[in-house]
């Protein structure tokens, strides 16, 4: 027997065994309960992550609704600690989208080790590990430490500090880490600390982590697989904007939380590693007999996490030096050897120099790398020191000479280099003002390229590329403003939605309008002051306005009706734009918000709800002084004209204002008379503006369609192809073209337009036949020719049809005789439409041998141009029965339904084969087809018949969608009939 206890009581062996069993059962029950509670609530790690203890915490597993898995199929990892449903986690700062202001990051020591190896794409090679030490300053006492982390597994967490000031070897304490868990909705890693961090002290957060390289998305660290020198190869690159840095390493992933970075990349010796800064050094790492290279980089300037970047690749490069700094363009070795990167290299240096001279602020990094990725979703990214492009937007090939590619590359390179000042040097405080980055970078594209290529018409290109599109998207009832209110954001996904037309195009238009009512010197001077004041820092929209106001206050020449903030806030904090109407008989000018399909006398404008509108204008060709419309209505006697004189007035000089202009009947009449008398007296940009404004405003009930049509009478004298493009795009709408059989519009249109097309047609037909190379630097012609040629052939112009036959047959007989790219779609279509099965089978053969997606889509649509019903039926049968059309990029039934002949054949085919079509393209395609076919129908009975047909093959929710769309078509058809009847009547009088 054992000794008795000095105090207490004696327990027999049997009782002890029983109690031990009960205790074990109780402990087991508690353990199970704790595990269940933990997994529902916080899922704490199996070991506390305090001090230097290992942390087996895992990040939230990838959720199906968030993102598909990117690794090859394999055993699922069972997280020990993961995020939790919000109903289980306690309320706290992790529920908010913005990080709390307790901590400010100062510096990142970041090491990443992707396991990518040549000729190996196993699950192991698509993982990466990493370590990050983040030095932070504590601003407010806290026992919580929040930072961003998404799809990462935390393996170790440690907090050291407070850090000594100025004593390198002084001992450093540790702050206990009691728990680590994740908040999935807000993408936070949360560290619960054993003691509070002290305000004013610095700490170091040490984390080890791992994750997967994305294969399906270009976010965080991602993979590209490509072919180079006849071999399949792979690279790993990164993309962090706006909120993807947290997928590559745990960080404080907000733009205002700038810090410096020391980056180290571990990679296979056969690859090169690139990052924001130049390489500082390399060493070798031996892991179980495998050799790895460790590349370290110099310390970055202060920058946000979204600009941190790295690439691991087997690429080659070309380089040059600009003002003592090296510029390198990296691309596939084949592309470098063929000189495809040379154009980008040659324009990059001069663009940097132009912006340095413009702002008198030097580019602060010692080098610039620009890399062309095989797949970057047709995007580009301005990472400081390492700009990343989709190769389609950077590399220039021999067969690109007759495309707009050279100009597109120029603009995109200029945009990303512009970001080195707007975005990188000075960053918006948060994403609600991303337009301060993107709007100004977009605006300066045009000044930069005008410097590089002075022959390009800056105003006309801005109108065509920027203003035309955004003015068709924007309206008073849109919920989107350029500058968004911060409190409107509740989810991370909403940030990505900001990278849209409004940020880029309306933002650029705001910058251009601001520059227009200030002098160029004042505009640039204010921006220089702004950039200097906020270098390596962050700014709000009001900071920008403040620097413009300072520039205004320091001079007396330019007088404004209100502060810069009041003027510009009336635009950036409001959706839509105003329609400015001038009555030239009285000089009265009014403003009202633009509304789609405005009803008679409808308005949303209240007494105080107006824009402060700069009105630059000209009278009879002479530029006049700037005036302001800062009320709903105002009288300008100097704008009055009479019916008896030859004067005319145009508002919105060079179309620099973000608004559309309407006139009274006399104002339009005077402009029309001037166009017929001497169109060249009105500049090209204003001939564009008048036609576009008149047609757009007539479509939306602000003026009469006859007013717009009158402006086309002079077109026989118009020799600018961009003006023709605008006129044809506005006149030959989809509704009009699809309804040409009604009201005998087609023969009237044919007679009217062919009489006016001769001059412009002969000019460009001769160029195509005799010297097509002359087009390669004519950007406006390159983007306009397809519309001109397509219209001429559609109208039955014999020379156009003959040219189509001629070019198609030359290509058939000698494929080296490439069809000129700007009109290739037209020639392919009419080559098929005017041919028979011989031409069609030739194109099908080309299709089967083509692997490029863009070319396959082009050929697929061309084959749908046949006018032979049996060919189109065979085409659709091929699509659903054979493997020829095994690519999913094109729905062949939709292609056929889009053509004049095919719309009826597609409907009949669908009635017979709807089940097969549904299986081939999905039930959603049936909804699209119903809509496409419905748009071509002219009578209510036809629509009703289609509704009955769709009811038999769609599920209830799909049937509701289709019926609603078809009802909309009914209403549109009624409106279109009225409009087309008026057009027919006008053509009858003027043909």
Of 298, 504, 752, 830, which residue is the catalytic one?
504
Q: Which residue do the tokens 């916080």 mark? A: 42
Burial 122-147 (b: 16+ CB within 10 A, else e): eeebbbbbbbbbbbbbbeeebebbbb
Strand partners, 228: 231
Token pair 């086309």 is found at: 712
> Which residues lie below 8 Å from residue 821, measured CB to CB, with a gap of 6+?
399, 402, 403
Residue 764 is among the residues annotated as catalytic for this protein: no
Catalytic residue of the set 404, 416, 618, 839: 416
Instruction: Give bridge partners of residue 518 from the DSSP assignment.
Output: none
Closest of 374, 118, 329 to residue 222, by C-alpha: 374
Cβ–Cβ < 8 Å for 602, 637:
no
C-alpha to C-alpha distance for 344 and 322, rounded to whole angstroms: 14
To the query of whether residue 226 is one of the catalytic residues in this protein, the response is no
Cα 300 to Cα 556: distance, rounded to the nearest angstrom: 42
d(CA 296, CA 298): 7
- Nearest Cα neighbor of 415 from 300, 325, 307, 505 is 505
CA distance 691 to 710: 10
Peptide bond before residue 163 is cis, with ω within 30 degrees of 0: no
**Residue 372 backbone class (left: φ over 0; alpha: ψ -120 to 50; beta: rest):** beta
Cα(700)–Cα(918) distance, integer angstroms: 37
CA distance 174 to 783: 64
Tell me which residue of 984, 899, 970, 892 sits closest to 937, measured CA to CA.
970
Q: What is d(CA 789, CA 823) in angstroms, rounded to the nearest whole number?
A: 7
User: What Rg value do the Cα atoms of the chain yield, rounded?
Assistant: 33
Residue 389, beta-bridge partner list: 372, 380
Interior/surface letters 27-45, b for 16+ CB within 10 angstroms, e for the rest: eeeeeeeeeeebbeebbbb
CA distance 179 to 774: 69
> What is the SS3 assignment for 271?
coil
In angstroms, the Cα distances linking 778 to 136, 469, 775 are 54, 21, 5
* 572 token code pair: 């950036």
Strand partners, 287: 290
Looking at the DSSP bridge assignments, the partners of residue 234 are: 225
DSSP 3-state percent helix, strand, coil across the chain (nearest 5): 45, 20, 35
Q: Phi and psi dihedrals of 900, rounded to 5?
A: -60, -50
Distance CA(337)–CA(346), nearest Å, equals 16
Contact 531, 361 (CB under 8 A): yes
SS3 147: strand
Instruction: At 832, list the tokens.
Output: 């098929």
User: How many C-beta neighbours within 10 Å does residue 323 have?
Assistant: 10
Structure tokens at 779: 């950007």
Contact 534, 543 (CB under 8 A): yes
Range list of β-strands (E), 441-577:
537-539
Distance (Å, whole) CA 843 – CA 850: 11
With residue 955 as reference, give the H or E element that holds it. Answer: none
| CB within 8 Å of 6: residues ≥ 6 apart | none
3-state secondary structure of 577: coil
Query: CB under 8 Å to 273, separation ≥6 — which residues?
Result: 265, 267, 279, 293, 295, 310, 311, 312
Catalytic residue positions?
A: 416, 504
């Amino acid at each position: 027997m054992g000794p008795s206890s000095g105090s207490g009581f004696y327990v027999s062996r049997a009782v002890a065994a029983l109690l031990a069993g009960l205790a074990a059962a109780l402990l087991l029950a508690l353990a199970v309960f704790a595990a269940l509670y933990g997994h529902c609530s916080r899922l704490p790690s199996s070991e506390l992550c305090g001090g230097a203890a290992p942390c087996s915490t895992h990040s939230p597993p990838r959720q199906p609704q968030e993102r598909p898995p990117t690794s090859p199929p394999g055993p699922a990892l069972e997280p020990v600690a993961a995020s939790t449903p919000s109903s289980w986690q306690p309320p706290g700062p992790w529920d908010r989208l913005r990080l709390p202001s307790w901590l400010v990051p100062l510096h990142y020591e970041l090491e990443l080790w992707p396991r990518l190896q040549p000729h190996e794409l196993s699950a192991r090679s698509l993982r990466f590990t990493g370590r990050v030490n983040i030095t932070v300053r504590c601003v407010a006492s806290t026992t919580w430490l929040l930072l961003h982390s998404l799809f990462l597994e935390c393996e170790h967490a440690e907090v050291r500090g407070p850090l000594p000031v100025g004593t390198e070897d002084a001992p450093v304490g540790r702050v206990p880490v009691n728990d680590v868990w994740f908040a999935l909705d807000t993408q936070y890693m949360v560290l619960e600390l054993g003691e509070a961090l002290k305000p004013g002290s610095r700490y170091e957060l040490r984390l080890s982590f791992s994750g997967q390289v994305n294969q399906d998305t270009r976010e965080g660290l991602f993979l590209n697989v490509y072919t180079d020198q006849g071999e399949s190869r792979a690279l790993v690159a990164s993309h962090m904007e706006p909120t993807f840095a947290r997928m590559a390493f745990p960080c404080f992933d907000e733009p205002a939380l700038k810090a410096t970075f020391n980056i180290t990349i571990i990679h296979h010796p056969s690859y090169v590693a690139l990052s924001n800064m130049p390489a500082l050094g390399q060493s070798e790492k031996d892991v179980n007999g495998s050799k790895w290279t460790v590349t370290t980089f110099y310390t970055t300037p202060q920058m946000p996490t979204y600009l941190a970047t790295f690439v691991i690749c087997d690429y080659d490069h070309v380089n040059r030096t600009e003002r003592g700094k090296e510029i390198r363009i990296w691309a596939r070795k084949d592309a470098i050897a063929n000189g495809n990167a040379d154009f980008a290299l040659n324009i990059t240096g001069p663009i940097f120099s132009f912006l340095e001279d413009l702002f008198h602020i030097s580019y602060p990094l010692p080098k610039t790398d620009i890399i062309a990725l095989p797949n970057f979703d047709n995007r580009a990214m301005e990472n400081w020191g390492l700009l990343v492009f989709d190769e389609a937007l950077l590399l220039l090939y021999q067969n690109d000479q007759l495309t707009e590619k050279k100009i597109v590359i120029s603009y995109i390179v200029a945009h990303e280099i512009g970001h080195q000042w707007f975005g990188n040097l000075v960053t918006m405080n948060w994403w609600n003002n991303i337009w301060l980055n993107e709007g100004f970078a977009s605006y300066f594209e045009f000044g930069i390229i005008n410097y590089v290529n002075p022959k390009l018409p800056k105003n006309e290109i801005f109108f065509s590329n920027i203003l035309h599109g955004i003015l068709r998207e924007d309206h008073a009832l849109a919920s989107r403003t350029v500058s968004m209110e911060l409190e409107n954001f509740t989810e991370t996904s909403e940030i990505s939605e900001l990278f849209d037309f409004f940020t880029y195009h309306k933002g650029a238009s705001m910058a251009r309008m601001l520059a227009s009512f200030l002098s160029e010197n004042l505009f640039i001077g204010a921006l220089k002051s702004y950039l200097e004041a906020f270098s390596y820092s962050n700014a709000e929209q009001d900071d920008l306005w403040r620097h413009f106001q300072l520039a205004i206050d320091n001079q007396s020449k330019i007088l404004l009706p209100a502060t810069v903030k009041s003027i510009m806030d009336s635009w950036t904090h409001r959706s839509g734009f105003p329609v400015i109407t001038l009555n030239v008989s009285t000089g009265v000018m009014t403003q009202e918000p633009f509304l789609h399909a405005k009803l008679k006398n409808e308005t949303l404008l209240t007494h105080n709800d107006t824009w402060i509108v700069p009105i630059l204008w000209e009278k009879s060709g002479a530029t006049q002084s700037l005036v302001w419309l800062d009320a709903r209505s105002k009288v300008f006697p100097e704008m009055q004209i009479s019916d008896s004189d030859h004067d005319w007035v145009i508002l919105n000089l060079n179309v620099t204002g973000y608004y559309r202009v309407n006139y009274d009947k006399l104002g339009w009449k005077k402009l029309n008379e001037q166009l017929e008398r001497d169109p060249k007296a009105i500049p090209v940009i204003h001939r564009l503006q008048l036609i576009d404004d008149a047609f757009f405003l007539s479509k939306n009930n602000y003026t009469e369609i006859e007013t717009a049509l009158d402006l086309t009478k002079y077109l026989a004298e118009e020799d600018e192809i961009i003006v023709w493009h605008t006129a044809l795009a506005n006149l030959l709408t989809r509704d009009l073209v699809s309804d040409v059989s009604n009201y005998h519009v087609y023969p009237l249109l044919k007679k009217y337009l062919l009489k006016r097309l001769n001059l412009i047609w002969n000019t460009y037909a001769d160029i195509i036949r005799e010297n097509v190379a002359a087009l390669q630097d004519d950007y406006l012609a390159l983007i306009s020719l397809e519309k001109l040629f397509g219209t001429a052939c559609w109208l039955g112009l014999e020379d156009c049809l003959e040219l189509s036959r001629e070019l198609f047959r030359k290509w058939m007989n000698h494929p080296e005789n490439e069809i000129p790219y700007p009109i290739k779609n037209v020639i392919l279509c009419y080559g098929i439409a005017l041919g028979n099965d011989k031409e069609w089978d030739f194109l099908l053969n080309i299709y089967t041998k083509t692997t490029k997606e863009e070319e396959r889509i082009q050929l697929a649509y061309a084959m749908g141009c046949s006018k032979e019903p049996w060919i189109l039926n065979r085409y659709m049968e091929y699509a659903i029965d054979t493997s020829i059309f095994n690519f999913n990029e094109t729905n062949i039934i939709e292609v056929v339904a889009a053509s004049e002949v095919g719309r009826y054949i597609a409907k009949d085919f669908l009635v017979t084969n709807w089940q097969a079509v549904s299986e081939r393209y999905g039930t959603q395609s049936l909804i699209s087809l119903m809509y496409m076919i419905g748009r071509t129908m002219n009578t209510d009975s036809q629509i009703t018949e289609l509704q009955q047909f769709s009811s038999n093959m769609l599920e209830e929710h799909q049937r509701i969608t289709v019926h609603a769309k078809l009802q909309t078509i009914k209403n549109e058809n009624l409106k279109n009939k009225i409009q087309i009847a008026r057009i027919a009547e006008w053509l009858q009088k003027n043909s």
